[in-house]
Copies of this chain bind each other. A is one copy, B any other.
Amino acid sequence: MTSPVVSINGELRGADGLHVSGLDRGVLLADGLFETMRGRNGRIFRIDRHLARLEAGLTAIGIPMPPALPEWTLTALAAAGHQDARVRLTITRGLGPPGLLPPNPVRPTVIIAVWPMADVAGPAPAPVSLHVASGRRNERAMSAGLKTLSYTDGVLALIEAQRHGADDALFLDTDGHCSETTSANLFAAAGDGLMTPPASCGALPGITRSVVFELAAALGIRCEERAFDLEDLLGASEAFVTNSTRGPVAVARVGDRAIGPGTSGELTRRLAEAYRLLVLRECP
């Protein structure tokens, strides 16, 4: 694997110096937020929306938004030099006293990592299979709706999914509604349109999810936020998942049940193609 390019607080570092304090609250308490973004040809797809979501989240949890983020991000992307890049912005509350009490003032730590990624103009990603996670997503968590560093449950669900031979895990919320996967939003066909779980089911307000709303509107595909349960998903004629690194990707199976044709449905194909064209147009 190619080594990633990393910048810490705006400073680019070599592979042996990519370091933060072992007492950073990001390490000790997952006290921070992140964004994963798609870079291409020196641009970041929908960077304004990612930064707006990040700033809203940081404000909500009391971490100041580092003003140089856009510049540091584009500098790291340029230094990496990949045509297509996975770009991760991580912002933590930095150092503090022992225990949970936050420091005052907060001096955030900024970690920007850039990895190479598959060409968005290349072959569409293969459909994925989902395992239904044994644990539930908490739609009433303190941090519901925030993209925090607390990803232990996602990692454990993915490990469980792999043990079941699946590509990813689907979380239900505590009421049994479909929520999202470990790292992607979920859409399912409903009538002649689409439905996706609302924030009240523990779904993160994904940037690619919002791009799908845009594209569906442009294509005349009805798309609504609506709570639905596992049975509704299993009976859907097609389903797909979305995140910033892959765009819309068909769901072939959930557990031992094929979804619709068991491959990419028509709405999924149209939206995945529209997404690809949009990225190529905005990141030429």
Chain A interface residues toward B at CB < 8 A: 1, 4, 6, 8, 18-32, 34, 61-62, 86, 88, 90, 92-93, 97-102, 111, 113, 115, 133-138, 140-144, 146, 148-160, 174, 182-183, 245
Question: Are the CB atoms of A101 and B158 closer together than 8 Å?
Answer: yes
A19's closest neighbor in chain B, by CB?
B19
In the complex, A30 Cα to B144 Cα: how many Å? Answer: 16
Residues of B within 8 A of A93 (CB): 155
Option from B25, B113, B134, B142 in Cβ contact (under 8 Å) with A133? B142
In the complex, A135 Cα to B174 Cα: how many Å? Answer: 13
Question: Are the CB atoms of B31 and A23 closer together than 8 Å?
Answer: no
Question: Are the CB atoms of B142 and A174 closer together than 8 Å?
Answer: no
In the complex, A133 Cα to B100 Cα: how many Å? Answer: 15
In the complex, A135 Cα to B22 Cα: how many Å? Answer: 29
Question: Are the CB atoms of B29 and A149 closer together than 8 Å?
Answer: yes
Question: Are the CB atoms of A156 and B23 closer together than 8 Å?
Answer: no
In the complex, A141 Cα to B174 Cα: how many Å? Answer: 9
Question: Are the CB atoms of B135 and A136 closer together than 8 Å?
Answer: no
In the complex, A99 Cα to B93 Cα: how many Å? Answer: 22
Residues of B within 8 A of A90 (CB): 22, 27-28
Q: A27, A31, A88 — which one has the most chain B CB atoms within 10 A of its CB?
A: A27
Q: A19-B21, A21-B18, A151-B150 are in contact. Are A100 and B158 (CB under 8 A)?
A: yes
Residues of B within 8 A of A21 (CB): 18-20
Residues of B within 8 A of A97 (CB): 1
Question: Are the CB atoms of B30 and A98 closer together than 8 Å?
Answer: no
Q: A22, A26, A28 — which one has the most chain B CB atoms within 10 A of its CB?
A: A22
Q: A142-B133, A143-B156, A159-B102 are in contact. Are A23 and B27 (CB under 8 A)?
A: no
Instruction: Identify the 3 closest CB pairs spanning chains A and B, nearest first.
Output: A135-B142, A150-B150, A138-B138
Residues of B within 8 A of A26 (CB): 27
A62's closest neighbor in chain B, by CB?
B159
In the complex, A254 Cα to B191 Cα: how many Å? Answer: 49
Given contacts A32-B152, A135-B144, A150-B150, 13 further A-B contacts (CB under 8 A): A22-B111, A27-B90, A29-B154, A61-B152, A62-B159, A88-B98, A99-B245, A102-B155, A102-B159, A133-B142, A138-B174, A142-B152, A174-B174
In the complex, A150 Cα to B31 Cα: how many Å? Answer: 8
Residues of B within 8 A of A19 (CB): 19-22
Q: A97, A143, A245 — which one has the most chain B CB atoms within 10 A of its CB?
A: A143
Residues of B within 8 A of A156 (CB): 61, 142-143
In the complex, A156 Cα to B29 Cα: how many Å? Answer: 11
